[in-house]
Structure 1
Amino acid sequence: MTKVISPKKLIEVALPLDDINAAAAREKSIRHGHPSTLHLWWARRPLAAARAVIFAQMVNDPSETVQGDKRLRETKLKIQKERENLFDIIRELVKWENTNNEEVLNRAREAIKESWRFTCELNKKHPQADELFNPEKLPGFHDPFAGGGAIPLEAQRLGLESYASDLNPVAVMINKAMIEIPPKFIGQIPVGPIPSDEKQAKLLNDWSRAKGLAEDVRRYGIWIRNKAVNAVGHLYPPIKITDEMAKDRSDLQSYIGKELNVIASLWVRTVASPNPAFSNVAIPLVRSFVLSKKRDKEVWVKPIIEEGTYQFQVNMGKIPKTEIQGTVERSGAKCIMSNSTVPLSYIRSEGKSGKLGQKLMCIVVEGKNERLYLPPNDQFEALALNCEPEVIPDTPLPDKALGFRVQEYGMKKHRDLFTKRQLTVISCISDLIKSARENVLQDIKSSGEFCSDPEMYADAITMYLTFALDKVIDRSSTIARWDPTPTQSGVINTFSRHALPMTWDFAESNPIGDASGNFVSGCQLVAKVIERLPASLESFSIQADAATQDISSGKVISTDPPYYDNIGYADLSDFFYVWMRRTLRDYFPDLFSTMAVPKGEELIATPFRHDSKKAADLFFLEGMTHAIRNMADKGNAAFPVTIYYAFKQSETKEGSTASTGWETFLEAVIRAGFSIDGTWPMRTELANRMIGSGANALASSVVLVCKKREIGAESVSRRQFQRELREEMPDALEAMIGGTTGSSPIAPVDLAQAAIGPGMAIFSKYEAVLNQDGSKMSVHDALILINRAITDYLNPDSGNFDNDTLFCDSWFSQYGWGQGQFGEADTLARAKGTSVDGVRDAGVVESGGGKVRLLKWSEYPTDWDPKGDSRIPVWEACHQMIRVLNQKGEAEAGALLARMPDLGEQVRQLAYHLYTLCERKKWAEEARAYNELIGSWHAIVTASNEVGHRGEQHGLDFDF
C-alpha cells in the first residue's frame, strides 16, 4: 500500500499557547450567545481552544513548505516569519468578538485550503489520489465523542463538513441543534405570531444565517408562557402586602396594598425529631438561614419556638454571627426543639422510609428593582404541596453512580427530585411545546412564507423549545439552591457541578414568571445562541458508538473523550432525557427509543457498573483502546489526530504528572497504534488560579497530538530509551522554554504537561520498550523517567551556571528567604567553589552577626547596571530582571536584558528551575514571580531587540 505523504502540521511544531489560553479563559465569562447557554453539558471545551487546535492541526508548518536550505539563517528567518503569520491568524481567530468575523475566518479558511492543496500536490501520484486528494474539496471532519459539540461546531465554522457522533442521545440532540439544523434554514423568515408586547418582539429585517429560526423560538416561547399562565398560573399567585406583614418592616411600607409577583419559594427539608418529647415535630434541616448578604440589605431567617412548635421569622439588618449557622452539617443535624444531636444515619433511615418532609421557609417576591423576603403562609404552602401532577417520570435513578448522593435519602426515581408543583408545571409546558409544533405547521401555511421543509422546521422549533424547558428543569428541582451572595442572589441550578448531591434547603423558582429560571428567558438564551451559529456547511449529528462507528473514514479527527472516572455523563443526562423523551420521541423516535440513556457501552471507569475498581479500569482501558484504534485505522492519514484529556486536581504531585486515569488513557492511546508527537496544555482558568498548590497548577486539559505508529516499529531496551531521553529531551525542552520554534515560551506552570509530549514521542514510536527482564515498560515507568529528564535538565548543577548561582540555589532550597548559620553557609560555599564573602560582594546575600540570608528581588539596588558590574551571577541577573519587570514593566526589562544578552538563556532556565522548586515546596508567592518572568519573556525579548542590540544576543532570537 502506497504511503501517504503527510507534511508536518503547525500543531506538531509550535503554537501561540499564551494567546489561546488567554482567550479560552476569557471565554468562561461569556454568556449571551455562547453555545454553553444552549443546553447544559458537563465538560465542554472552549470554542477558542477547539478552533485553534483544528486550524493548527490542518495547516502545514512552514518548515515543510518554505523552499531553501533549512540550515541557512535566511531560510530559518523566512520560516519564522511564515510561522508568525499563522500565529497572527490564530491570535485573531481565538478572540470571542471574532467568532463570526468573516474576514478573520476567511483568512483561516484560505490557509487551510492552501495547505490542503500543497498536500494534494505531494500525493498526486498516490493510487487513490482522485478519491483522497481532491484539491478542490477539503476532507470532512469527525468528532466521535462529540459531547457538548464545541469541537464539531468550530470545524464547521472553519469551513469543514462536520460530523458529530456520540452514544448519548442528549449529546446528539445538542449537536443537531448546533451544526445540523441551522444550515437547513438559512435565511428562513420567521412565521410565529408577533407578541402583543412590542418589547418582547424582535422585529428585524436581517434574517441571515439562522436568525429567523431564532426569532421563532422567541415568539413561540412567549406563546407557550402565556398559555401556561392560563393553565397553571394559579399555583403562583401574587402576594398582597398587608399592614400586618409590613409591621416592623420598613422595606415593605411602600408596598402595602400591592400584589407582588413571586420569584421563588425557599424550602427546608424536615425530619421527625428523634427526641421522644418532640417526636411530633418535623424539625428543619437547614444548611444556612442567611437569605441575602447584600450590604445594608442583609436578610436571614430565625426559627421562633413557641407552644411546642416553631415558625420561621424573616429578619432584616446586620446578621448576628449566632444566626448564620444552619441546623445540618456533614456529621449530622441539630434538633432546634431540644438542641440534641440528630445522627446522619437517622436522617438517612427516615429518608429511605419516605419520611423526609418539606416546609416553606420564605417567599421571595419582586419589588421595584429589588427582591423582598416574606415569611411563609399556609395558603401558599398548600398550593405547592397539594397539587397532583397528571404525568410524572417513573424512571429509576441508578442505585449508585459517580457524583450521586440523593439515593441515600430515599430518592429512588427521577420524580423524587421534584416537588408536585414543579412536576405539574413542567408537564404543562411539555404538553404546550407539542401543541406549539402544530401551530408552527399552521402558521407556515397561513403566512405564505417559503419553508424548505415545514415538518423539519416544526421539529426544530420543538427541539429548541425543549432545550429552553430543560433550562427551567435545571432550576426547578429540589436540588437547586438559593444563593445569598450579592453578585448572585438567586436560584443556583441543579448542576452547579458534575453531580446530584443532597441539598437540605432548596429554592423553587417560578418558571412562568419574569425572574431567573423562567421559560421565556430560557427561550431567549437559546435564541441568542442560534443567532451566532455559523449555519454554513451541511453537517451531521449521529448516534454511534465510538468503538464501532465508520464515520471517521477519511476524515480529520479531533475529539474530547470521557475522562476515566471523572464524570458519569449517561447517569447525569437522564435528568434531562426523561423529559426530552416525553416531549420529542414522536419527532425523533430513533434517538428516544430507550427509556433512559444507554449506559452499558459508556467509556467511564465507574466501579458501580462493574465488579470492582480493577474491573472498571480494565473496561475503560479496553474500551478506550478499541475506540482510539478505530480512529487510528480510519482517520485521514494526511493529518494528525488531536485528543483532549482533562486532568483532575489530584494528578500533579511534586512537580510530576501521573495518575491512574492519565496513565490508563496514555496506555490506551499507545495500545491503539498511535505515537504521541506532542502534548499541549490548554488552560481555561484565569491566571490568578494557576499559581499556588500543585492542584491549581494544572492545565484544564492537555491536547495530545497523535499519528499512527509506523508498521513494523521495533522494540528497544530500557537503556536505549534512557539514552534517547538524554539526547533528545534537552533540545525539546530548550525549544519549549526558549521559544526557539517561534512560539512564546511554555510557562513554567504548564511545563510538566507539555514536556510529556517529546518524552512520550520517543516512548510511543516503538512497539515496546523492554526492561532488563524482557517485560514491557509501563506508561507509569516511562512517565517517571520522562519527569526525571525534565528535572535533570532544569537542575542548575547540570548546566553551565556560575558557582555563586549554584550556592544561591542550594541555600534557597534549604532556607528560602530566611536566615541560616554562617558556618553552614561557609561550608556550602566552599563545596560550590565560592565563598560567602564573594557571594556577598556579588550583591545577592546579606552576611553579618553569624547569619546569612539571600536578598529578595525587591531589595536589589535600582541603579544596577550590568555593564559596570564585574561579578554577575545568573542568580543576580534573574532577580534583577524580576525586579525591573515588577516595578517598571516589560519594556524596561527588555532594555535591561539588552545590556546582558549573553545571560538571557541562563536567566530563563534558572527561572524555570526556581518555579519548579517553589511549586514543590508550595511557596506560591515566590512561584508567581518566576512564572510571570517566563510569561513575559516573549515581550521582554522583543523589547530587547528593539533597543538595537540584536547582533549582541545569543539565543534570544526566535530561530532554530
Structure 2
Amino acid sequence: MTTTPRKKLIEVSIPLEAINKASAREKSIRHGHPSTLHLWWARRPLAACRAVLFAQLVDDPSAWPDRFPTEAEQDAERERLHKVIADMVPWEASNDERILNAARWEIARSVAWGLGEEPPPQGDTTAILDYLQTKAPPVYDPFSGGGSIPLEAQRLGLRAYGSDLNPVAVLIGKALVEIPPKFAGQPPVNPVAQAELKRGGRWNGKGAQGLAEDVRYYGQWMRDEAEKRIGHLYPKATLPDGSEATVIAWLWARTVRSPDPAAKGAMVPLVSSFMLSTKEGKKAWVEPVIDPTAPDGWRFEVHSGKLLKADEDRLKSGSKGAGRGSSFSCVLTGATIEGDHIKAEGMANRLGARLMAVVAEGDRARVYLSPSEQHENVTIPLANDERVIEAREGALDQPVPARLTGGTCYGYGLTTFGKLFTPRQLVALTTLSDLVEETRERVLADARATDLDDDTRPLHESGQGITAYADAIATYVAFLITQLANHSASICGWNSANAQMRSVFARQAIPMTWDYAEVNVFSGSSGSYTSLFDRMVKGFEALAPDRVQSEIDMVDAAQNGFSVSPTVFSTDPPYYDNIAYADLSDFFYVWMRRTLTGVWPGLFRRLAVPKDQELVATAYRHGGKDRAAEFFMNGMRDAIGAMRQAARDDEPLTIYYAYKQSEAGEGGVTSAGWASFLQAIVDSDLVLDGTWPLDTEKRGRVIGNNTNALASSIVLVCRKRRADAGTITRADFVRLLKRELPEAINAIRKAGVGPVDMQQSVIGPGMGVFSRHDRVLEDDDSAMSVKTALTIINRVWGEIENEADTALDAETQVALAWFASYGFDAKPSGDLITLANAKNVPQQALFASGVFTDLRGRSQLTQREQMPADWSPLSDKRLTVWECVQHTARALRAEDGGQEAAARLVAQMPPQMRTDARQLSDRLFQIATDKGWSAEALVYNELSTEWHGLTELAQSIAQATPTGPAQSSLDLGGAA
C-alpha cells in the first residue's frame, strides 16, 4: 500500500508579501552581504531561499489532523508558521540566533513527528543542530551557482550540498559554505592576533570571525606589499593651488585614425560623453580643443561650473555621429566615422588611447583636471613590460566571446582577455596575483607557530590543518584579484551621475566602452583594492553556523549520480536562452587559473570554463534556435530526471524559474522557455504541485508600459508522479479543472497573492491536474503538450472568474460591466438603462446605492474622491461589493486614512462580502491592466496586495471592541 506523503507548508500557503518585501529590500544591501565575497550573476535572494527551504521541510497543519482537527485550528497554526517565516526573512535576522533557532526547531519538530519521536527542546541550539544534522534530510542544489540555496540550508542547520558545472561558481560556493565551517571558531593565526593572545587575551570569536580577521590581515599585507613594488606607477596629481592629491581615476578616450583625408591621418577621439559630473553644483566636463601644436592637432581641456541645458545635452552626446550603429564624428573635420571603419581598425590592432581627464580626491569633493604629460607618459614604458607580455601571451591569451547575449567587445579588436586591460592594469593585477602565493607561504609559516592541527593535506583533499588553512586564506585573497579585475579593465566606463567608475559587469555583458576609467588601485575610492577588500571581509559576517558541514562539487547536473541520496532538492537552474554565464565567467576564470591552480588543481585544469554542456539554449552555440531548444530540452529533462531518481519520496522538490515580463504571450501562453521548462518537468515524471511567484524587485513600480510587471521568479513545487498514474481525455482535463480550480484560487488569494501574480499562481494547481496523469489525450489520441495545457488552464480560469461575477449583487454586476466599457467616464444615461435592464435592477437603485452618479441625462460611476468619507458598511442600507472595494481603496490611499482606516471598513463588512470584495479587486485590476489604465490598475493591485494585512488588522480591531456589530460581523473563515 502506497503511503500518501505528508503535505508541506509550501504546498498549501506561504506568506508571499513578507518574503517579497524582504527579498526586494535585500537587493539594496551592500555591506555585510555574502555576495560581496565575489560577484556571481542572478543570485537568488537569501530571504527567498531561506523561506522556501523552511516551507518545503515543515509540515502543513493539515498533514496532522489528529493534532489540528478543525479547519480553524489548521488556519491558526498556519498563521503561526507564517509568522515564523515573516520573522526570519528580513536581512537583520540572518545572524539572529534566537529567530533562526525558532525556525530550526520547527523543521526539527516536523522531522521528529514524522519519525514518531519527540523533537529536541526548544531553545537548545546544540540539541537542535545535532538533531537536524543526524535526522533531517540533506539538501542538494545541483545548479548551485552563487551558492544562495546551500548557504541558507546551512543557516537552517541542514546538511547542505551543491554542485555546478562552472568552476568559478564551484569555488564561490566552496568559499561561502564549505570552507568556513572547517575552521569555525578558530582564532586567527596572524602575528598581531597571536601576540594579543599570548599577552593574556582570549579569543571569543564565533563562526568565521577568525578566518575573516586573517583575511583582513594578510589581504592588507598583500596590498601594502604591492604598493611598495608598483606604487610609483600611480603618481599624485598637482592641484591648481600647487598641492598634491591622490588620483582616483584616469579617464581615457579611445582613438581611431580619421578616414577623412582632410584630417591628414590624425588619430581622433571616440567619446560617448564629454560630461565628467552631472551633479548639480558640481558639474564638470571635458572638451576637445583644436591645437596645431598638440599631437594630431587637438587636445582635451577640462572645465567646471554652470552649464546651459543645451550645452549639457551636446556634451552628453560626446563625439558620436549621426550615422548608423557606433558611428562618431571626426573632431578635426566633422566627417562621419562609421562603425565598420572603427571595427576594421580595431581588428587590425590600430585603435589608440589618449588621456582625457584626471580625477583627484580634493577637499570633500572630486577635482577634475586636464591631462598632463606626466600622467599620460607614465604608462608608455609598460607596453613592453615582461609582466604585460607574459599575461597577454600566457594565462590571459584566451578568446573573448565573439558572440554574446547582451553584447561583446570582440568585434572591435579586443579579442582576448589580455587585451581588455591596459598595461598598468596588467602590471597591477599580475603583481597581486603573484603575491597570493607569497601570502600563502606567510600564512603557513605563521600557522605552524600556533595550535592549529598539523594536518598537511591540502584543502582540495579535504584537509583541515595548517596547509588547508593557508589554502583557504589564499583562496579568499585571490578573490580580490578577480574582483579588482572587474573594476580595472579598459571596458570600465565612468558614471557622470555619481562620479564613479562602472565595473565591467554593470550589466551581463562584456561591452565595448569608448571612454573608460582606469582606477587607482591604491586609492580608497570606489573600485580600488581597499574599497573592494573592506566590502569582501564584511561579507563573512553573514555566513552560516559553526556546526554545519557542507560540500560543493564540480559536476554536470545532467550526469549527476548524487552520492548523497535520497535528498531534498531545491535548485535554481539556467533559464532557457538567457545569458550564457560560462562565456561571461571566463573573465574571472583566466585570473583564477593563473593565481590558484596550485591550490585548486582540479577546478583549473582546463584553459577555460566548460561551455558545451552548459544548459542554455544559445542559438549561436548550437547551430540555430531549433537545435538549441532541443539541446536544452534534452539536457534539462536529464537533469530533472536525475533529481527525481535521487529525491526523497516524502518531500517535494522546489525549482526556481526566472519569469520575465517579456515572456507573457497571447492568452497566457508564454514563451518557448517557460513551456519547455514545464515540459521537461512533466516528461521527468514529476507532478507540478504549485507555483509561487516571488517578486524580488522593489515594490512600488507595479505597472509599466501599460502591462503588469510579472514576478521576477517563480518557485515550482513538484512531487514524484505515482507509478499508477492514469490517462485522461481533454474533456476530462477541462472537467477536473472546473471542479478543482475554484477552491485552489480561493486558497491562493487567502495566501495573499496579489492580482499581478495570480495568473502564474493559478498555473500551479492547473498543471497539478495535468501532470498528475500519465498523459492527457487529445481528440486524435495524441498526447497534449504543456503549451496547450497552459492555454486551457488560463481559459478555464477566466471562465471561473466570469462565473464568479454572476454571484455578486446586481448593482456591482452593472458597475463591473460599465467599468469594463467606460471606466469612470460619463456616458449617456441610455447606456446605463440598457445595462440595468439586462441585470434586472432599477436605474434609480443604482443611484440610490451610491454606486452611480446621476448627471441629468448622463451617468457615471461615482468617483472615489466624491464618495462620503464617513461611509460605513454597518450604516449602508443598500450595501454592495462595489462600494466595499471603492471605499476601502479610498481609505487606504487617503492622506488622513491608511491601513487602519481601511481595516476598520473591512472589519465591518459581512464575511461573504469581504471575500467577494477581494475577488472583485482582482477582477478590476485585470480589466484596468487590459485597458492600459495604469494608474487605476495600481489602485487595485495595492488593495489586493494589502488585503491579507487589512484582514489581520481588522481582527485586532474587532478583538479590541468588546461589543457591537463590528465584532460580530468578523468571521475569520471568510476574512481572506
**TM-score range relative to shorter protein:** over 0.9
Q: Specify the code of the residue in structure 2 equivalent to 1:27.
A: E
| 1:539 counterpart (512, 534, 550) | 550
Alignment of 1:54-203 (within 5 A): 54-67=53-66, 70=69, 75-121=70-116, 136-194=134-192
Contact 2:359 2:367 in 1 (8 A): yes
Does the residue aligned with 1:218 lie in a helix, a strand or coil? helix
Q: Deviations over 1:402-438 (max 9, x none)?
A: 2232112122111121111111111110001111111
Alignment of 1:718-737 (within 5 A): 718-737=730-749
Alpha-carbon distance in structure 2 between the residues aligned to 1:959 and 1:62: 19
Alpha-carbon distance in structure 2 between the residues aligned to 1:659 and 1:567: 16
Residue 260, structure 1, aligned to residue 260, structure 2: no
Unaligned runs of 5+ in 2: 119-130, 455-463
Change (3 A) 1:384 1:826: farther
Alpha-carbon distance in structure 2 between the residues aligned to 1:218 and 1:306: 50
Q: Deviations over 1:719-774 (max 9, x none)?
A: 1111111111111111112x1xxx4x211111111111111101111111111111
Q: Deviations over 1:848-871 (max 9, x none)?
A: 364333232122121323344333
Contact 2:669 2:787 in 1 (8 A): no
The alpha carbon displacement at 1:166 in A equals: 0.5
Contact 2:165 2:610 in 1 (8 A): yes
Residue 380, structure 1, aligned to residue 375, structure 2: yes
Alpha-carbon distance in structure 2 between the residues aligned to 1:159 and 1:40: 25
The alpha carbon displacement at 1:232 in A equals: 1.3
Residue 315, structure 1, aligned to residue 324, structure 2: no
Does the residue aligned with 1:302 lie in a helix, a strand or coil? strand
Partner in structure 1 of residue 126 of structure 2 = none
Alpha-carbon distance in structure 1 between the residues aligned to 2:317 and 2:950: 51
| 2:258 counterpart (265, 273, 277) | 273
Change (3 A) 1:385 1:756: farther
Alpha-carbon distance in structure 1 between the residues aligned to 2:12 and 2:831: 47
Partner in structure 2 of residue 326 of structure 1 = 318
Alignment of 1:418-433 (within 5 A): 418-433=421-436
Alignment of 1:798-877 (within 5 A): 798-834=805-841, 836-848=843-855, 850-877=857-884
Alpha-carbon distance in structure 1 between the residues aligned to 2:511 and 2:784: 41
Does the residue aligned with 2:559 lie in a helix, a strand or coil? coil
Partner in structure 1 of residue 676 of structure 2 = 664
The alpha carbon displacement at 1:5 in A equals: 5.0
Q: Specify the code of the residue in structure 1 equivalent to 2:18.
A: D
Does the residue aligned with 2:95 lie in a helix, a strand or coil? coil
Say which is worse superposed, 54-63 or 289-298, in terms of deviation.
289-298
Q: Specify the code of the residue in structure 1 equivalent to 2:101.
A: N
| 2:898 counterpart (879, 889, 897) | 889
Does the residue aligned with 2:212 lie in a helix, a strand or coil? helix
Partner in structure 1 of residue 221 of structure 2 = 223
Change (3 A) 1:171 1:235: same
Alignment of 1:283-294 (within 5 A): 283-294=268-279
| 2:533 counterpart (523, 527, 532) | 523
The alpha carbon displacement at 1:68 in A equals: 6.4
Q: Specify the code of the residue in structure 1 equivalent to 2:300.
A: F
Alpha-carbon distance in structure 1 between the residues aligned to 2:814 and 2:653: 46
Alpha-carbon distance in structure 1 between the residues aligned to 2:341 and 2:863: 57
Partner in structure 2 of residue 922 of structure 1 = 932
Alpha-carbon distance in structure 1 between the residues aligned to 2:854 and 2:349: 73
Contact 1:362 1:376 in 2 (8 A): yes
The alpha carbon displacement at 1:135 in A equals: 10
Alpha-carbon distance in structure 2 between the residues aligned to 1:864 and 1:103: 45
Give TM-score scaled by structure 2 length: 0.91
The alpha carbon displacement at 1:446 in A equals: 3.8
Alpha-carbon distance in structure 1 between the residues aligned to 2:703 and 2:640: 33
Partner in structure 2 of residue 252 of structure 1 = none
Contact 2:660 2:711 in 1 (8 A): no
Partner in structure 1 of residue 950 of structure 2 = 940
Alpha-carbon distance in structure 1 between the residues aligned to 2:429 and 2:974: 60
Give TM-score scaled by structure 1 length: 0.92
The alpha carbon displacement at 1:803 in A equals: 2.7
Residue 673, structure 1, aligned to residue 682, structure 2: no
The alpha carbon displacement at 1:775 in A equals: 1.5
Residue 766, structure 1, aligned to residue 773, structure 2: yes
- Deviation >6 Å, runs of 4+: none
Partner in structure 1 of residue 338 of structure 2 = 343
Q: Deviations over 1:373-425 (max 9, x none)?
A: 11111231222344131421101123323223211212211112111111111
Contact 1:182 1:209 in 2 (8 A): yes
The aligned length equals 921
Q: Specify the code of the residue in structure 2 equivalent to 1:335.
A: C
Percent of matched pairs sharing the same residue: 43
Does the residue aligned with 2:32 lie in a helix, a strand or coil? coil
Q: Specify the code of the residue in structure 1 equivalent to 2:425.
A: Q
Change (3 A) 1:568 1:134: closer
Alignment of 1:502-581 (within 5 A): 502-534=512-544, 535-551=546-562, 553-581=565-593
Alpha-carbon distance in structure 1 between the residues aligned to 2:928 and 2:114: 46
Alignment of 1:603-618 (within 5 A): 603-618=615-630
Partner in structure 1 of residue 923 of structure 2 = 913
Say which is worse superposed, 758-767 or 298-307, in terms of deviation.
298-307
Residue 397, structure 1, aligned to residue 400, structure 2: yes
The alpha carbon displacement at 1:193 in A equals: 4.5
Say which is worse superposed, 459-468 or 86-95, in terms of deviation.
86-95
Partner in structure 2 of residue 130 of structure 1 = none
Q: Specify the code of the residue in structure 1 equivalent to 2:66.
A: Q
Contact 2:702 2:938 in 1 (8 A): no
Change (3 A) 1:939 1:139: closer
Q: Specify the code of the residue in structure 2 equivalent to 1:540.
A: E
The alpha carbon displacement at 1:952 in A equals: 4.6
Contact 1:287 1:326 in 2 (8 A): yes
Alpha-carbon distance in structure 1 between the residues aligned to 2:569 and 2:68: 33
Alpha-carbon distance in structure 2 between the residues aligned to 1:865 and 1:532: 49
Change (3 A) 1:816 1:224: same
Contact 1:396 1:413 in 2 (8 A): yes
Contact 1:116 1:135 in 2 (8 A): no
Residue 436, structure 1, aligned to residue 439, structure 2: yes
Change (3 A) 1:851 1:339: farther
Contact 2:253 2:356 in 1 (8 A): yes
Alpha-carbon distance in structure 2 between the residues aligned to 1:683 and 1:434: 43
Partner in structure 1 of residue 760 of structure 2 = 753
Alpha-carbon distance in structure 2 between the residues aligned to 1:958 and 1:822: 36
Q: Deviations over 1:661-712 (max 9, x none)?
A: 1111001111111100001111111111233347661111000000011113
Partner in structure 2 of residue 249 of structure 1 = none
Contact 1:146 1:171 in 2 (8 A): yes
Q: Specify the code of the residue in structure 1 equivalent to 2:810.
A: N
Alignment of 1:8-27 (within 5 A): 8-27=7-26
Alignment of 1:28-67 (within 5 A): 28-67=27-66
Partner in structure 2 of residue 126 of structure 1 = none
Contact 2:874 2:909 in 1 (8 A): yes
Q: Specify the code of the residue in structure 2 equivalent to 1:918.
A: A
The alpha carbon displacement at 1:319 in A equals: 2.7
Change (3 A) 1:159 1:867: closer
Alpha-carbon distance in structure 1 between the residues aligned to 2:851 and 2:132: 64
The alpha carbon displacement at 1:368 in A equals: 2.3
Change (3 A) 1:16 1:426: same
Change (3 A) 1:318 1:642: same
Contact 2:805 2:813 in 1 (8 A): no
